[in-house]
Chains A and B, each alone.
Chain A
């Protein structure tokens, strides 16, 4: 009798797990298929229509360069003449602490909206047009897509050794070619020859800049195998603070430097990146005005049906 009980419990548990996993993957695919759900008991076939859902806003943490640029570009940050500044992002916004987490969150929830670096955009989410302009690197370059910010690297004082050589590489034609092929907007290339210095440097900061930095490091290693470059991902503010403290050699930032930071560091612009406003692939919305985005992110608009 007891044995039967154990077997039944094991079977029930396995079924429940399968049902749960089935639901989960259906959720990310926005499953409308009724056939596949027959096999997994307990999972629903229809996910609620995105229009009927409340808007789930996903934002980045306070120190994120992407957030800093976003709230400035869309007017979500309120600046007064006397110097006071207030971030009006809605308090209900889910805070994701990395680019990846934003993508996974938006891909997994039909009513979600967020923002990520254009270069980090992938097929799991959909980027909406802003004021009629699609989020592509060409549109950023031409200026039609106005939501963009610079990628900046900063060093304490003038760079030297491996750091200087690496920065020179990034600004050269080869480096900017890597920028272009990684879906960012390159700048005017400068002349440069590698001095082949050896040594180890640390590059720390923005999670938006990190994918580009990784590609640049790989390409640079081919040109100068003597150098070892270590990349640490956190966010723009953390990276800049680390450079000021001397904990890293080069800081990565996806926003302009603040006055206090610019006082201690030497910035260098290395690329331009757009910020894509992303929604779930099942969301029928494909175009938003800047005002609509501001209303959503400040919590004025709460339902997709009101957009």
Chain B
């Protein structure tokens, strides 16, 4: 019986190992052939030119800007939603609100993309702002759900203790309960960030996909994920290797973000 559990756990580890093997095995040779510095810092991406150019700095910048925008918009709303659901909302309203928020999480990316094209692009054009707003809405339910669970997991006696000292309801919630749920809320933000960085379909439809460094929030960008998806179908040899190397960069990026945030978490607690 133990063996069954062990094998199940092993399956996940194996999957991660295989993915790493594929990524690094195919990406690193291409990376070395193009030249690491030319790849990471190069500002021109033109794989169909002869000779081709493989600089992904514009895409790195694109992913960073779009994710940052999504987080700035999505995190405050997500956390406040969680606080509302966990500690303010009357039970009758909760019965409608919670399924509504959960439903948001289940909407397919493509539908979000079409919504973005119809509602955001006419106003903000295909830009970092459009993509940021759309992603902010997409990561909202994930973050709100996890943060809400974390808030509900805080023992009630902290709340009572705060109230007994003369603190009002909101003071008790924001100064005692929310800090107590810190690590859960941080986990929610990390998950939201992961989803924002990895989201491809919806972003392709609203971000403009220009492969160059942006100058303002109203200009379009191309993200790392969009770059891979748009060109993977037909890329050959070095171009293909360059796209897999882009995957490696994404992988390392997410790893770094997770490490930073867990270090931050440890420092706070």
Which residues of A does B touch, CB under 8 Å? 6, 20-21, 23-24, 27-28, 56, 61-63, 83-87, 91-97, 101, 104-105, 108-109, 234-242, 260
Contacts and interface: CB of A to CB of B under 8 A. Distances in A.
13 contacts: A21-B119, A24-B119, A28-B122, A62-B231, A85-B48, A85-B49, A86-B49, A86-B50, A94-B126, A94-B210, A101-B117, A105-B117, A234-B233
A239 B119 CA distance: 32
Interface of B: 46-51, 93, 117-119, 121-123, 125-126, 204-205, 208-212, 219-220, 222, 229-231, 233-236
Contacts of B211: 91, 95
Contacts of B93: 6
B123 A61 contact: no
Contacts of B219: 92
A240 B234 contact: yes
A62 B48 contact: yes
B177 to A, nearest CB: 19
Contact of B234 (A28, A95, A97, A237): A237
B233 A91 contact: no
Contacts of B231: 61-63
B230 A62 contact: yes
A29 to B, nearest CB: 11
Given A28-B122, A87-B49, A94 B233 contact: no
Contacts of A87: 46, 48-49
A216 to B, nearest CB: 22
Contacts of A109: 121-122, 125
Contacts of A23: 122-123
B246 to A, nearest CB: 14
B48 A95 contact: no
Given A24-B119, A104-B117, A235-B233, A93 B49 contact: no
Contacts of B123: 23-24, 27
Given A87-B48, A92-B212, A20 B119 contact: yes
Contacts, number: 92
Nearest to A90: B210
A23 B125 CA distance: 14
Given A62-B230, A241-B234, 11 more contacts: A62-B47, A85-B48, A87-B49, A94-B126, A94-B210, A95-B208, A97-B229, A105-B117, A108-B117, A237-B234, A260-B236
Contacts of B119: 20-21, 24
B46 A97 contact: no
A56 B125 contact: yes
Contacts of A104: 117
Given A63-B233, A235-B233, A92 B210 contact: yes
B240 to A, nearest CB: 9
Contacts of B236: 241, 260
A108 B48 contact: no
A104 to B, nearest CB: 6
Nearest to B48: A62
A86 B46 CA distance: 8
B170 to A, nearest CB: 12
A243 to B, nearest CB: 11
A95 B209 contact: yes
Contact of A94 (B47, B50, B209, B234): B209
A28, A87, A94: which has the most chain B beta carbons within 10 Å?
Answer: A94
A92 B125 CA distance: 13
Given A27-B122, A105-B121, A108-B122, A241 B222 contact: no
Q: Top 10 A-B pairs ranked by shortest CB distance?
A: A238-B233, A237-B234, A95-B209, A27-B122, A91-B212, A63-B234, A238-B234, A85-B50, A94-B208, A61-B230
Nearest to B52: A85
Contacts of B234: 63, 234-241
Nearest to A2: B90
B94 to A, nearest CB: 12
Contacts of B51: 84
A24 B118 contact: yes
Contact of B210 (A21, A85, A91, A97): A91
Contacts of B209: 61, 94-97
A236 B48 CA distance: 14
A27 B48 CA distance: 36
Contacts of A242: 233
